[in-house]
């Protein structure tokens, strides 16, 4: 048997263990009772422990080692990498989501909870599988066996392609625009981002390869530049809000008559405290990003697609449902 075949078999075996756990603990019946108003939603600690148990079984992790172990994890896709909230922010964000879920329709809960789980990425691995289990449990099914059958498919090697895509990435740009509007970005007539105060063209990345690697803050500078690769606008906003307009102008250089923030000048002029403040501001935006995911469900009429034709919540749900049209 090849290594790949063994991995598939192992994934399938773990899926059966998850399904066996759900069957033995009567989770399907409990969820149906909650949806029917016969049972109350469990408290946050119970919900948290449930997620850790499902994730641990799916990853074959012993009970004593199961935890929210997603520190420093990045969400790597086929095209890009998503920077996630700091580990210390993840559980409080999940709690905020769970509390919000008790004040929205039961129909909406099946989208918000799994999407938020994907947005914060609590675990080092298996976040997608855990969110798919949660989403399928919250959907309507004619029987437990049909639910568990779909669960088996969702937990398989190709499960992410053969089940509903409850990914916050489906509305990443829309939420980013909400955050950017709040923090001073201007937009063109089509809703495209134009500029942020004196910042018009980003960072002069051409300078990166010539940075002084012996500088005591070189690692901090490189880390910010690494974040910039995937989160251009949040990094620029963090620089402006930390340093102010005048300093941003002074730390820019002209390239073909276009002012760009200079990595060399940043490294030469920023104190360690200022670097740390930039990081703090950046990760505050990553928190806000998740918080706006919550708000599009708790205050849907405030957040609409660019042409105003529908709420962002309805647009998100529509995209999720389309992703599972062949499931």
187, β-bridge pairs:
193
User: How many Å from the N-terminal Cα to the C-terminal Cα in the chain?
Assistant: 30
**DSSP 3-state of 281:** helix
**Would you state the structure tokens that stand for residue 83, as one six-digit string?**
């920077």
Distance (Å, rounded) from C-alpha 151 to C-alpha 85? 28
SS3 track for 293-320? HHHHHHCHHHCECCCCCCEHHHHHHHHH
pLDDT(80) > 90: no
Check whether 42 has a pLDDT greater than 80. yes
pLDDT for residue 75: 64
Task: State the pLDDT at residue 7.
Answer: 55
Backbone angles phi, psi at 178, to 5 degrees: -60, -45
Whether the pLDDT of residue 1 is over 60: the answer is no
Residues in the chain: 327
pTM score of the predicted model? 0.92
Where b means 16+ CB within 10 Å and e means fewer, 151-190 reads beebbbeebeeebbbbbbebbeebbbbbbbeebebeeeee
Quote the CA–CA distance of 294 and 92 in Å, as a whole number. 13
Q: List Cβ neighbours of 258 (8 Å cut-off, separation of 6 or more).
A: 200, 201
Q: What are the start-end ranges of the E strands in the chain?
A: 75-76, 81-82, 185-187, 193-196, 252-255, 258-261
Per-residue pLDDT reduced to its tens digit, 242-265: 999 999 999 999 998 889 999 999
Percentage of residues in the chain with pLDDT exceeding 70? 94
pLDDT at site 192: 85
Report the pLDDT averaged over residues 113-142. 96
The CA distances from residue 291 to 112, 145, 230, 236, 295, in Å, are 11, 35, 20, 20, 6
Of the candidates 132, 99, 103, the residue with the CA atom closest to the CA atom of residue 115: 132
Would you state the pLDDT for residue 72? 75
C-alpha closest to that of 93 among 292, 237, 311, 304: 292
Q: What is the DSSP letter of 138?
A: H
Q: E-strand spans in 92-243?
A: 185-187, 193-196
253 φ/ψ angles, rounded to the nearest 5 degrees: -130, 155
Residue among 127, 125, 119 at smallest CA distance from 94: 119
């Amino acid at each position: 048997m090849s290594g790949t075949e063994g991995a598939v078999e192992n994934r399938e075996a773990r899926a059966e263990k998850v399904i066996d756990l759900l069957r033995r603990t009567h989770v399907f019946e409990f969820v149906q009772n909650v949806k029917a108003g016969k049972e109350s939603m469990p408290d946050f600690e119970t919900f948290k422990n449930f997620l850790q148990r499902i994730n641990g079984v799916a990853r074959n992790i012993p009970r004593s080692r199961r935890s929210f172990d997603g520190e420093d994890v990045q969400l790597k896709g086929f095209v890009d990498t998503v920077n996630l909230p700091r580990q210390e922010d993840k559980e409080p964000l999940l709690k905020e989501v769970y509390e919000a879920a008790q004040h929205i329709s039961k129909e909406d809960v099946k989208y918000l909870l799994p999407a938020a789980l994907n947005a914060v990425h609590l675990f080092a691995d298996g976040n997608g599988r855990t969110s798919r289990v949660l989403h399928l449990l919250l959907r309507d099914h004619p029987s437990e066996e049909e639910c568990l059958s779909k669960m088996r498919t969702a937990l398989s090697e190709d499960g992410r392609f053969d089940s509903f895509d409850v990914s916050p990435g489906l509305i990443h740009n829309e939420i980013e625009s909400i955050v950017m509007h709040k923090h001073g970005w201007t937009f063109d007539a089509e809703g495209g981002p134009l500029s942020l105060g004196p910042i018009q063209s980003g960072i002069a990345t051409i300078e990166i390869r010539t940075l002084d690697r012996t500088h005591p803050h070189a690692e901090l500078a490189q880390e910010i530049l690494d974040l910039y690769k995937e989160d251009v606008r949040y990094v620029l906003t963090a620089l402006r809000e930390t340093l102010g307009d005048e300093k941003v102008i002074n730390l820019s250089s002209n390239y073909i008559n276009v002012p760009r923030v200079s990595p060399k000048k940043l490294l030469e002029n920023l104190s360690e405290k200022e670097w740390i403040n930039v990081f703090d501001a950046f990760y505050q935006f990553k928190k806000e990003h998740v918080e706006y995911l919550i708000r599009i469900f708790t205050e849907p009429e405030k957040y609409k697609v660019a042409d105003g034709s529908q709420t962002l919540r309805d647009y998100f749900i529509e995209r999720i449902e389309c992703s599972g049209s062949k499931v």
